[in-house]
Structure 1
Amino acid sequence: MVTISEKIKEIQDEMSRTQINKATEYHLGLLKGKLAKYRRMLLDPDSSSSQGSKGQGFEVSKSGDARVCLIGYPSVGKSSFLSKVTKTQSAAAAYEFTTLTSVPGVLHYEGAEIQIVDLPGIIKGASEGKGRGRQVVSTAKTADLILMVLDATKGPDQRENLERELEAIGIRLNKSKPEITIKYKQSGGIKLISLNPPSHLDEKLVSSILKEYRIHNADVTLKDKDVTVDDLIDVINEKHVVYTPCLYVYNKIDAVSLEEVDRIAREPNTTVMSCEMELSIEDVVEEIWYRLDLLRLYTKRRNARPDFSEPLVVRNQSTIEDVCNSIHKDLKDNFKYALVWGSSSKFGVAPQKCGLNHLVHDQDVVTIVTK
């Protein structure tokens, strides 16, 4: 009996043999759809397939205001970085596979508690379950930010290979969700809707890929004419795909030239450090805070001064309703109105009376008035 891993290998071999041109677009699109389906069956713990072995997570409870996962090959400095920025002493040594399970720590910064999770070093083939690939996947998909720790003394292959592994398991780095909507129907077949002629998709290809997932009736709307087959497959598998910001951190900059450090540091979404020499670690922490895009709010009781000692930390684009939920799950049920001071108030220094839908800004002062 052919296993899922063998089916994946067969599809990958066929794709590598197929020349990429206009005539082969349809065939390659179907192969990509099959490949994504089999990878999901192999890695998803909830898959009904009996051939894909179940992947257990590391059972690290998500805590604090945000979660950052450290991902990288063995011996790049993940454990050393965790030990420098938290009170957790993750095992660190100059040999590979020091970390065999995930190790969480807490970074206290700007009043926020940021959970830092050091995952085991990823090896080639992790996306197919090799090493501890399944466990790494299940935890990495819960991250608010991925910190990809790389070795400044090594070539670009390390980054490209890690990106490929994460891409294969459904983690999209520094990308937004494709502008495609799928409305499922009871009948009527597949209908493709687009304001402009799509550059990479047509109704035949869309129908064939959907049928691979046993979807026979749906309206597919393309809001961007340049969306690709890969984008469509991601939207079909939206429950198994996450869009996560990523910061590339190159460690061991003390072992390369200043010219090389300057070149690396100029790459997008990239920063540099040396854990051994304790160089630029604070810069990395500042960049983590910036990438998480969190807001600090200060609460104020009526007829009292604001409490600036412990900010309430919420996500960007949070509303007063989100603030209520952060304080207590039942608070919004007794909500009457809120008073907000700060840049989100249209009255400047004077408070604005507002409802649950009001968007708060960083360092706003908030009073919640209940019934």
Structure 2
Amino acid sequence: MSTEEKIKQIEEEIQKTPYNKASQHHIGKLKAKIAHLRMQMEAGKGGRKGAASIGYSIKKSGDATVVIVGFPSAGKSTLLNALSGEELSKVAAYEFTTLTVIPAMLKYKGANIQLLDVPGLITGAAHGKGRGKEVLAVLRNADILIILVDAEKLWQLNAIKEELQNAGIRLNQNPPRVEIEKKIRGGVGITKSINVQLTDIEIIAVLNEFGIHSADVSIKDSITIEQLIDVVAGNRKYIKALFVVNKVDLVNRNEILKDLIQISAEKGEGVKQLKDEIYKKLGFIRIYLKPPGREADFVNPLILQEGATIENVCKKLHKAFVSKFKYAQVTGKSVKFKEQRVGLEHELKDEDVVTIFVRE
């Protein structure tokens, strides 16, 4: 029996097994077995080299990278052009227009956001169909995914979510706070700092399926068995996502889900809102630099992530700034008064004005 046949057989067993408290341990073991078999299957294939081929090897640039993903003819190329303001991606009214990864740049609120238009996904992409492996390799390096679907084909949304789930990509989720430290001997020790529904027997069963028989496990989140499997597998990617419906000008909008961003890329409708959502989702803050004795530069802000500190500013300006740092002066929302002196650990807010003083 091939690995794919084994996986199918186990999936059928899960479907036939009624889910209840008595069976959840058995179902958990089966799910862990499937995850382990899939990892073995991918390792056996050795990974195709297409992800590094011409057109798929894209160097990250700018302050963040946003990848537009969707089925063929969803309007990805039109959206790329609308967001960037340039005719970079070929547009046509037939499927598979984009055969390589096409980069563009969105300049917005002082940030340079790299946009990537990738070939359309198809069902089975997670298992390599339609050059799916190469496309998914690009997605895994994104800071944000724009999940784009045709307003007349809303079923595409769940289909894409399923493909990404199968490929180990988790959308709008935080990595579970679970630490697993393997040991040579001594069995499995489990520490829970929160009320976790999983029993120790279930946790140990999942670990054993992955060949872990001795380890210290610390769980700080109320996790599901699927989340535990993700942690043990260790190859999951947690990526922010925006869900966008294109071509809304062609349908009755009352039929469109209200929690989706609605646009018409061709007509430019909703594009400004999408830019705002991208910027917001990236969690950017703008820091205006004021060199000592000079005026602040309000034209070219330094773009950082929310929670950034003075140390982050120093590292982005010059590697020597941290070792030579004396103090910083900050004016803005993060301080109580103008030009307040702060240290490296001071957390900044959007539109703070910062002056760095270093030792000669």
Residue in 2 that maps onto 1:152: 151
Distance 1:283 1:109, change over 3 A: same
Residue in 1 that maps onto 2:44: 50
Residue in 2 that maps onto 1:328: 318
SS at match of 1:134: helix
Residue in 2 that maps onto 1:70: 68
Mapped pair 1:234 → 2:230: yes
Structure 1 residue 162, shift from structure 2 partner: 0.8
Mapped pair 1:351 → 2:345: no
How far apart are the structure 1 equivalents of 2:87 and 2:348? 33
SS at match of 2:129: coil
Distance 1:90 1:127, change over 3 A: same
Larger mean Cα displacement after TM superposition, 184-193 or 334-343: 184-193
Distance 1:15 1:56, change over 3 A: farther
Structure 1 residue 359, shift from structure 2 partner: 1.0
Identify which of 287, 296, 301 aligns with 1:306.
Answer: 296
How far apart are the structure 2 equivalents of 1:291 and 1:333? 33
Distance 1:229 1:98, change over 3 A: same
Q: Number of aligned pairs? A: 354
Contact 1:42 1:53 in 2 (8 A): no
Identify which of 281, 285, 308 aligns with 1:318.
Answer: 308
How does the TM-score come out when normalised to structure 2? 0.92
Residue in 2 that maps onto 1:46: none
Residue in 1 that maps onto 2:115: 116
How far apart are the structure 1 equivalents of 2:318 and 2:193? 45
Residue in 2 that maps onto 1:127: 126
Could you tell me which runs of 5 or more consecutive residues in structure 2 were left unpaired when the two chains were aligned.
none
Residue in 1 that maps onto 2:282: 292
Counterpart amino acid of residue 316 in structure 1: E
Could you tell me which runs of 5 or more consecutive residues in structure 1 were left unpaired when the two chains were aligned.
44-48
Contact 2:79 2:266 in 1 (8 A): no
How far apart are the structure 2 equivalents of 1:297 and 1:140? 29
Mapped pair 1:364 → 2:352: yes
Contact 1:39 1:169 in 2 (8 A): no
Distance 1:7 1:337, change over 3 A: farther
* Identity across matched positions, percent: 40
Identify which of 58, 61, 67 aligns with 1:60.
Answer: 58
How far apart are the structure 1 equivalents of 2:119 and 2:173? 24
Distance 1:196 1:345, change over 3 A: closer
Structure 1 residue 105, shift from structure 2 partner: 0.6
How far apart are the structure 1 equivalents of 2:41 and 2:80? 31
Structure 1 residue 92, shift from structure 2 partner: 1.5
Contact 1:294 1:316 in 2 (8 A): yes
Distance 1:332 1:56, change over 3 A: farther
Distance 1:367 1:88, change over 3 A: farther
How far apart are the structure 1 equivalents of 2:266 and 2:298? 36
Distance 1:170 1:301, change over 3 A: same
Counterpart amino acid of residue 355 in structure 1: G
Mapped pair 1:223 → 2:183: no
How far apart are the structure 2 equivalents of 1:316 and 1:198? 30
Structure 1 residue 55, shift from structure 2 partner: 4.9
How far apart are the structure 2 equivalents of 1:51 and 1:60? 23
Residue in 2 that maps onto 1:274: 264
SS at match of 1:356: coil
Structure 1 residue 171, shift from structure 2 partner: 1.2
Structure 1 residue 31, shift from structure 2 partner: 1.9
